[in-house]
Amino acid sequence: MGYRVGVDIGGTFTDFCVVDEEKRSLETLKVLSRPDAPGAEVLQGLDEIARRFAIPPTSVTYFTHGSTVGVNAIIQKRGARLCLLVTEGFRDVLELARLKIPDPYDLFSRRPPPLVPRDRVLEIRARMNPDGSTALAPDEASVLAALAQAEALGAEAIVVALLHAYANPEHERAVRRIIAAARPALPVFCSAEVWPIVREYERSITACIHGSVQPMIAHYITRLEAALAQRGVPAAPMITKSNGGVMTAAAGKVRSIEMLLSGTAAGAIGAGFVARQAGFARVMSLDIGGTSADVALLRDGLPDFRSGELVGEYPIYLPTVSVSSIGAGGGSIATVDALGVLRVGPQSAGSVPGPACYGRGGTQATITDAFAVAGVLGAGELGYGAVTVDLAAAAAAIDRVAAALGRERVAAAEAVIALAVANMYREVSRLYSQVGEEPSGYALLAFGGAGPMLGCLLAEELGMAAVIVPQAPGVLAALGGLLADLRSDFVRVAFLDVAEAAMPALAAALAELAAEARAWLAANQGDGEAGRISVTADMRYRGQSYELEVPLEAAWITGAQTQRIAQAFHARHQEVYGHADKEAPVHLVALRVVIAGATPKPEFPPVEAAAHAPVPRGRVPVAHRGAVVEAALFDRAALAPGSRFAGPAVVVQDDATCWVPPGFGGEVDAFGNMILRRG
């Protein structure tokens, strides 16, 4: 028996969860992130764990890790310098994209510049037909000419995205062989091997994002492996993935794109675990860190999945946990524009310098500073002692906003908080309108360092009756990494009508995908037959331009049950769009398989709850809606299962501070989760 360690690197803090496999107890820790030296925070955390909890690195039996190295490289445009090789005549594939403006409600919004500028998109002579047959084999002279041009342009890696490569990847592989023979050390990435989907832009941009981050992520993982081994950690690191699973470090070096959104995905997995513990079937998770607020809708503890998530300004089309990000984190900066209008975010103070109240050189007012001035923060240290709240610095930062607004200090702080909540309300309302549901049917699960501060305020605006605050809200994403299964996605473009004649080809495609999936699991876990396989298909009515992903049963395909397959699509179309045409022919564009291999899960037994009223350790004045209320001050560690209290209250713990405004009451359940309800 030993210890399982989960790590999640955020913009401000790096979070650690340590589970004792024998005692089934949980220890948590936060250290400040090191964007200047990625990975240093992991080693610092291991040293702190050894010092604080007497847990040496040699006793770590399982290690999961999520990192923002890749996503930060895209956001900050620090990825590898790429050249993109395309089929002759398709040089503008990234420029054209989908000819959509980013915000349909803002006619002045602009698309971001292409990830690979047009002067580094090079054409080669080759042509693949839509059915995978060769119209023109790759011309070696044109490939070598493009290679010479790429070298002259300073290319550090090359992405090859040729027409119809989803149907047959051989042309892309032939181009790679030609380049490898001439320049063996130059990294070359084929779009059909990154993610073989139909549509040129989607496949090309996904491959370019992968090519941009892969060298950096591979180097980072290699250094991490070496550092962990040097510290004496015997467990090989597992890397958390954007699809809510984990993969080996070796796979992470090759499939780097799959870990770009791992932090948000791991948070949703952790939220689903807590929702099931607390007995809530429908939950909206609210993960507020230093930079953003991430929202996911969970049903029966499971998140939705989708393609097309944004990494910075660019979409990736691999399946990811469906999370919507809002530029309103604890470090979001409050400013007043030239017209005297208050704005909050999306710019963030990050971890360096951080909010002014962190005392690390920050001078701009943030949401965290507003809560400090309002009185919610300041009763204790933050981030396990990494930060001592500097109330004077917070006041000075808010004073500059107050002067620009012509308000008093506390009124300005409340305005910052109210605007942050309003921004989240607008984005969350949009999310619910897209799925055709009402927020009142959900509970809100607040986590992240700032989630419990804002959770009740947002829930009140949305009409939600309950807020769940986990036992360790500030490190739930790190715990989510420990809960994740080995998981991978596989896709095959099919272009088949849902008809009897197409079933043999569809069954053959399913068999190939299932074999590929089980081979992957066998290589990563040792037993491919133990994995759980689920099947979906991208389907549409014939003539439609875009598809819906529809869950299917494998038996429907192998048994040629065309009616069941079509009915599943009609039902999904009805659910999403409110109508279905059951007489129209149905077309299947792509078949997808997901395999999941179970990993050992930490178990936390319930504790018998005895109802009682805890005694606060003091009272603090908190500004709330234009008045000052006396709030009870509780230590979270003193709130045993069965504890009941009424707001206003401030609950402090090492990884987060919770604000329970008037009108809410709290109760701690048998698993240590705090359930806050509007009375």
The answer to whether the beta carbons of residues 301 and 331 sit under 8 Å apart is no
In whole angstroms, give the CA distance from residue 456 to residue 662.
Answer: 10
* pLDDT of amino acid 654: 87
The position carrying tokens 């705090």 is 674
Output the pTM of the full model: 0.88
* pLDDT of amino acid 564: 97
Handedness of CA 92, 98, 99, 101 (dihedral sign): negative
In whole angstroms, give the CA distance from residue 11 to residue 211.
Answer: 23
Ordered by start, the domain boundaries in the chain are 3-74+217-259, 78-215, 262-329+420-483, 332-418, 486-597
The position carrying tokens 């089934």 is 24
Would you say the CATH fold of 262-329+420-483 matches that of 3-74+217-259? yes
**Count of other CB atoms within 10 angstroms of residue 121:** 24
- Three-state SS annotation for 460-471: HHHCCCEEEECC
In whole angstroms, give the CA distance from residue 367 to residue 448.
Answer: 14
In whole angstroms, give the CA distance from residue 186 to residue 621.
Answer: 62
The answer to whether the beta carbons of residues 395 and 426 sit under 8 Å apart is no
* pLDDT of amino acid 74: 86
- Nearest CA among 228, 229, 246 for reference residue 238: 246
* Strand, helix or coil for residue 183: coil
- Strand-pairing partners, residue 9, are 14
In whole angstroms, give the CA distance from residue 65 to residue 50.
Answer: 18
* pLDDT of amino acid 383: 65
Instruction: Work out the angle at residue 435's Cα, subtended by the Cα atoms of residues 429 and 436, and round it to the nearest 5 degrees.
Output: 80
In this structure, what is the dihedral angle of CA atoms 177, 182, 184, 188, given to the nearest 10 degrees?
Answer: -50
Contacts of 255 by beta carbon, 8 Å cutoff, 6+ apart: 247
Instruction: Work out the angle at residue 161's Cα, subtended by the Cα atoms of residues 157 and 166, and round it to the nearest 5 degrees.
Output: 135
Q: How far is CA 438 from CA 124, 258, 392, 463, 466, in A?
A: 52, 32, 42, 9, 14
The answer to whether the beta carbons of residues 262 and 245 sit under 8 Å apart is no
- Nearest CA among 189, 253, 245 for reference residue 219: 253
Beta strands 664-668 and 674-678 are: antiparallel
The answer to whether the beta carbons of residues 223 and 301 sit under 8 Å apart is no
Largest pairwise CA distance in the chain: 81
Instruction: Work out the angle at residue 58's Cα, subtended by the Cα atoms of residues 54 and 59, and round it to the nearest 5 degrees.
Output: 65
Handedness of CA 285, 286, 290, 292 (dihedral sign): positive
Segment holding 25, helix H or strand E: none
Residues of the chain with pLDDT under 70: 11, 351, 381, 383
* pLDDT of amino acid 9: 86
In whole angstroms, give the CA distance from residue 188 to residue 13.
Answer: 35
**What's the CATH number of domain 262-329+420-483, 3.20.20.10, 3.40.50.280, 3.30.420.40, 3.30.300.30?**
3.30.420.40
Q: Sort residue 565 into left (φ over 0), alpha (ψ -120 to 50) or beta.
A: alpha
The answer to whether the beta carbons of residues 334 and 416 sit under 8 Å apart is yes
Contacts of 501 by beta carbon, 8 Å cutoff, 6+ apart: none
The CATH number of the structural domain formed by 78-215 is 3.40.50
Over residues 347-370, the pLDDT tens digits come to 888 767 889 998 888 899 999 999
Segment holding 20, helix H or strand E: strand 13-20
What CATH architecture applies to the domain 486-597? 2-Layer Sandwich (3.30)
Segment holding 321, helix H or strand E: strand 320-321
Instruction: Work out the angle at residue 73's Cα, subtended by the Cα atoms of residues 69 and 77, and round it to the nearest 5 degrees.
Output: 170
In whole angstroms, give the CA distance from residue 587 to residue 198.
Answer: 14
| Strand locations in 106-245 (E) | 121-124, 127-128, 134-136, 157-161, 188-190, 238-240
Gyration radius of the chain's alpha carbons: 26
- Three-state SS annotation for 398-445: HHHHHHHHCCCHHHHHHHHHHHHHHHHHHHHHHHHHHHCCCHHHCEEE
Per-residue b or e along 174-186, where b marks 16 or more CB atoms closer than 10 Å to that residue's CB: bbbebbeeebeeb
Over residues 278-296, the pLDDT tens digits come to 999 999 999 998 878 889 9
- Three-state SS annotation for 53-115: HCCCHHHEEEEEEECCHHHHHHHCCCCCCEEEEEECCCCCHHHHCCCCCCCCCCCCCCCCCCC
* pLDDT of amino acid 608: 84
- Nearest CA among 555, 564, 559, 566 for reference residue 588: 566
Residue type present at position 383: G
Sheet with 649-653, strands from edge to edge, namely 618-624, 627-635, 649-653, 656-660
DSSP state of 500: G
DSSP state of 614: P
Domain 3-74+217-259 has CATH 3.30.420.40: yes
* pLDDT of amino acid 469: 97
**Count of other CB atoms within 10 angstroms of residue 525:** 17
In whole angstroms, give the CA distance from residue 37 to residue 25.
Answer: 31
* pLDDT of amino acid 68: 77
